[in-house]
Structures are given as structure tokens and as C-alpha cells.
Structure 1
């Protein structure tokens, strides 16, 4: 099954087929994958999961910062924020900043991680604020970042 068909038929939960896609990516697939990241719906969520997996495996793929700046679905944002550590300096801290106040705690936690990693302006201030977040996941991420 080709990548776009896998994305279109994905059930939104199981990752076995997405892992297969990530494992079989070639450089020729990168433009299609990056385009799918911005597709919206489950296609975008599946594509960003595959992109994150590819980054974790050491793939060198452009970071779709435009998707992060475009008010993505929270799962798309989460996958991209988790991927920032692999993309590094190729991402502007301003692209991450809006997610520091996201309603989903996991998104806030990974936005904090990315923002600090990118040495965003006022990162220390956001670390202090996160230390008092209602969500334990955000407080834990702030604690771990302070240890680094």
C-alpha cells in the first residue's frame, strides 16, 4: 500500500502500518510526506507521526515549520513539537511560542521542551511559569529541563 493510502485509511490509533511507512521512506518520499503533514484530518496526524518516527531514526528531512505556524490539530502540533529536538536550529522559537499556552497539557509540555531547546526569548520565565502549571506533565517537563 502506498504512503498516502495508508494515511487515508489509518484508523487513528494503531501504528503498525505507520511504522512500516516510516521504515520504508526514501528521499523521493520526502516531498509527499511533508505535503501530507499539512493535509489536515487523520492524514496530517498520520504523516506527522511518520515524520517524527523518521527523525528519531536519523532521517534528514526538512522541518515543516509552516504547518506548525498554521494552527494545526493538537496531535499534529504534538508530533512536530516532539520533533523539534531533531530539527534543531532549523526551527524559529516564535513558531513554538503559541503552544506554550495550549489547552492540552502534553502540547504545553513539549512546547516548553522545544522552546527551551531553541533558546527562545524569556525561556527562563516560561520555565518558572510551567513549574506552577496545573498539569503534572508540564511541571515534570519543567523540572527535567532545569536539570539539563
Structure 2
């Protein structure tokens, strides 16, 4: 199945989400679907990492679960210089996974680096991911709070809005 899914993702043009939805319908019933996608999240050929991470994010957004043993390998992809869309999808997925078994200092450091990325959505979602990691690992809270403080003064409205939302969560 992994070769067939990889071949399907090679056909993805990086834009047609309808193609990815069709790909999901074709492969999602396979028992190793998510495991294969996590592996393909590290494949830099064409738009494979972009497509694989979008499929993971889509699965999670539709209420699907991510096996706990696949969370750390997915987060580890942030340390391997994925395409910016793949990094965004991974960062957006962090809020939907169980992080308790995914303690990874390198992945958290990568999130901190993305919090300074030129692309505003990457900054916003890196800050969000850092906050989620800090909930699972309280010793990371100081860094996450610093990122939120920086985000409150960001030039991009999307980053400021995410920072305000996270500030409200921090007060709850």
C-alpha cells in the first residue's frame, strides 16, 4: 500500500485539495494508512510531504485519532526542514493529538524556530503548537508564554489573533 499511496501523492500538484480528498477515500481504510502517511511526511519528492501531512491533518480534523506511537515521529519531521506547507500542517495537527508520549526537545526547538518564520501562518501555528506542548510538559511553559507575548506584538493580524486566543486559554 505504501508504494501505491506514494505514487498517488506524486501526482498531487501541490494545490488540488479535491485530489487529496479522493486519495484519502482510496486509501484510508488500509490498516497502515496513518503509519504510511507519517513516513511519507519525510519524503521531499515533488509535493509528497505536503500531501501526506494534509491527509494527516484532514484525518484528525474529521475526528480521527492518531496512534500515540506515531505522534513523536510526526513531530520529528519538523526538525528535517519539510516544505513550508508540510510544516504548517504538522503544526496545525499538534492541537489534535495526544502529546503525553511525544516529549522531544528537538521538535520543540523546531517549533520555536518556526515561531520566527517569515510566513505569518507558520508563526501563528508554531506558537499554538508550543502552547499545546507546554500543556503536556509544564517545564516548556516559559518558552511558550514568551512566544505568545511576542505574538501579541507581531505585525501580522493572524499571529496577533492566535496569540490573543492562546492568552485567553492561558487564563482559563
Q: Same fold (TM over 0.5)?
A: yes
Alpha-carbon separation, structure 1, partners of 2:103 and 2:120: 22
Stretch of structure 1 that moved more, 29-38 or 39-48 = 29-38
Deviation of the 1:4 alpha carbon: 1.9
| Counterpart position of 1:22 | 24
Query: Any gaps of 5 or more consecutive residues in structure 1?
Result: none
1:50 lines up with 2:50 in the alignment: no
Query: Any gaps of 5 or more consecutive residues in structure 2?
Result: 135-139
* Structural mapping, 1:61-140, within 5 Å: 61=67, 62-63=70-71, 64-89=74-99, 90=102, 92=104, 93-119=108-134, 120=140, 121-140=142-161
Stretch of structure 1 that moved more, 43-52 or 21-30 = 21-30
TM-score by length of 2: 0.77
Deviation of the 1:91 alpha carbon: 5.3
Deviation of the 1:67 alpha carbon: 1.0
C-alpha change, 1:88 and 1:96, in structure 2 (3 Å) is farther
Aligned pair count reads 147
TM-score by length of 1: 0.89
